[in-house]
Structure 1
């Protein structure tokens, strides 16, 4: 029997440069691609074994119809105990839906660059973060972020500027990742160049970022571990 993953595309394009939906398929899952940004949602969550939530140019607190709909879907999925993973905006809307809309806020300045994120002790036994060492190298780029103080959040990794880089909701199979483990070393320079103007505006040195682009392989184990967990559920 096939494993069915609901892939919610929250960006201006259904498929991002990272093509993570294709990678989920290559890891043995049937992927139902839904362009949530354009209002495309399934009528029911029946039959889905897992859900992935992508990034977005929007904030989780924006008053936009698809964001309200996605909040409802997340809460329903949590009640049904469907595993979920969100990256960047995906992490933020998980936090907003499950822990309150005031859980997401806009920073005074952007956090951008490749960073070594200290990993907390709670990650050692976590089902997707358990392969991480004492720190994990990953590219981060965000103006919005999820607060770290909520009692239903288990913080798995942080940075010097953001105390909630990777988190889990309670003991459920629900995770948020603020950074971008999905971006490969080959894709990163293309992404940086395509977003040069915005990255410079956000304080990034695009040429230095392109030079330092790397695979961040350890961070990617969270993606493959999530896929394996969904397949085994």
Structure 2
């Protein structure tokens, strides 16, 4: 029986600058927003997806649409430093505050979590310990995290793709810490602010091993500066092992990464959580496609978006 509901509509907020988008395309063939669109297309083929670049001066929603017209907003990673006062960071934070005020639920990874934190009154800083590069190890849910839908089905400690030079210093008032690890205290959180709700993670559940390799190559100088590599050959060692074998789970296993990073994850019904969720069902909270993005298997990555644009 065909559903009477109109197709879900998602907005991908790509907070990279134009220069960063081009650099990422040169590295892995797609920008961060294009990675999200790819995932959304595979998970919900009938969904309508739009993209906005809130850091850009000419950022605008499609004509006739407002933030309240979306079922969810998804914030990508970005090299922006949220503790720096720049036109790009100001525009991006203002956009996130508008998302909160709209009541449209949101999800974000890496810098997406940092943007939501600053927008709601928290703070971000450079990593206090060291660069977390390649994979975040032994992420451990808190008591609240173990009971939270975002982390449903997670192991007691799990690994995930990650590379970041900044971290959340202090969550906003009223936020809930969901997970952390030895290097980064805030690995997952829920933030409620101005009538809106955001779920976010510091790691990158949306990327495949090929994009992990690309991220390491793009940050080669930083890896050497942080004493995580002695030079170019050291930097290339891990990407060289990842790229040819993607998405072979054996590669992740050989690197000491938990099966979570390379194994298909589904809901208890065997379907993506997004298949039965949206802001249209208040009783289900903010269950949306971003829930399943946190479990996306590498086998779903790599097909260019069709309807999602």
Q: Shorter-chain TM-score: which interval?
A: 0.7 to 0.9
Q: Does 1:110 align with 2:131?
A: yes
Shift of 1:154: 0.9
Q: Does 1:176 align with 2:192?
A: no
Give the corresponding residue for 1:26. Answer: 42
Once structures 1 and 2 are overlaid, which stretch shifts more, 41-50 or 152-161?
A: 41-50
Shift of 1:83: 1.0
Q: Distance in 2 between matches of 1:149 and 1:186?
A: 31
Once structures 1 and 2 are overlaid, which stretch shifts more, 186-195 or 114-123?
A: 186-195
Contact (CA 8 Å) 2:9, 2:48: kept in 1 or not? yes
Q: Does 1:13 align with 2:21?
A: yes
User: Which structure 2 segments of 5+ residues have no match?
Assistant: 1-5, 23-29, 230-234, 243-250, 253-259, 282-309
User: Which structure 1 segments of 5+ residues have no match?
Assistant: none
Shift of 1:201: 3.0
Shift of 1:143: 1.9
Give the corresponding residue for 1:77. Answer: 99
Shift of 1:231: 7.0
Once structures 1 and 2 are overlaid, which stretch shifts more, 72-81 or 114-123?
A: 72-81
Contact (CA 8 Å) 2:191, 2:198: kept in 1 or not? yes
Coordinate RMSD, CA, aligned: 3.0
Shift of 1:170: 4.0
Deviations 1:23-57 (A, max 9, x none): 11222122101122333232731311111111111
Give the corresponding residue for 2:76. Answer: 54
Task: Flag the structure with higher strand content.
Answer: 1
2:117 aligned to which of 95, 120, 123: 95
SS of the counterpart of 1:33? strand
Q: Distance in 1 between matches of 2:21 and 2:176?
A: 32
Structure-2-length-normalised TM-score: 0.64
Distance 1:36 1:150, change over 3 A: closer
Deviations 1:63-83 (A, max 9, x none): 232432332232232233211
Once structures 1 and 2 are overlaid, which stretch shifts more, 153-162 or 111-120?
A: 111-120
Structure-1-length-normalised TM-score: 0.83
Once structures 1 and 2 are overlaid, which stretch shifts more, 76-85 or 47-56?
A: 76-85
Distance 1:133 1:218, change over 3 A: farther
Shift of 1:145: 0.9
Contact (CA 8 Å) 1:120, 1:134: kept in 2 or not? no
Shift of 1:190: 3.6
Q: Distance in 1 between matches of 2:275 and 2:121?
A: 24
Whichever of the two has the greater Rg, that structure is 2
Q: Distance in 2 between matches of 1:81 and 1:124?
A: 25
Distance 1:152 1:124, change over 3 A: same
2:261 aligned to which of 205, 213, 216: 216
2:9 aligned to which of 4, 9, 12: 4
1:192 aligned to which of 216, 240, 243: 216
Give the corresponding residue for 1:36. Answer: 54
